[in-house]
Amino acid sequence: MKKQFHAFLLALVSAAALAAVGCQALREEFIPEPGSDRAIASAAMERLGRDTMLSDLAVSVQVENSVATVYGTVRNAAQRARILSIVDATDGVAQVVDNLTIR
């Protein structure tokens, strides 16, 4: 009985260690490197999401070589200008390409 308990305990500790290592690997995979295009896009999307005047809009930002391209639909020119300004002010963005549509 004692051997079974030790075997069970060893299996349980091993499973927990493997799960912790696996979770760490997943976290590292999805956390973009600071300054990378992915990190810049993430930061721009986070800033847009925090703006209460824009958070309900379906807008996305893709970044390639520090050039941010903004996609989506807005209701008016003021929303467009606000989005472009926020993205442009995001650290790491060198240029903004406007692919927004007003409807």
pLDDT tens-place string over residues 50-80? 999 998 899 999 999 999 999 999 999 999 9
Sheet holding 67-74, edge to edge: 59-64, 67-74, 95-102
pLDDT of residue 83: 97
pLDDT tens-place string over residues 91-100? 999 999 999 9
Q: Tell me how far apart the alpha carbons of residues 5 and 23 are, in angstroms, rounded to a whole number.
A: 27
What count of Cα atoms within 13 Å lies in the side-chain half-sphere of residue 92? 18
Is it the case that residue 87 has pLDDT exceeding 50? yes
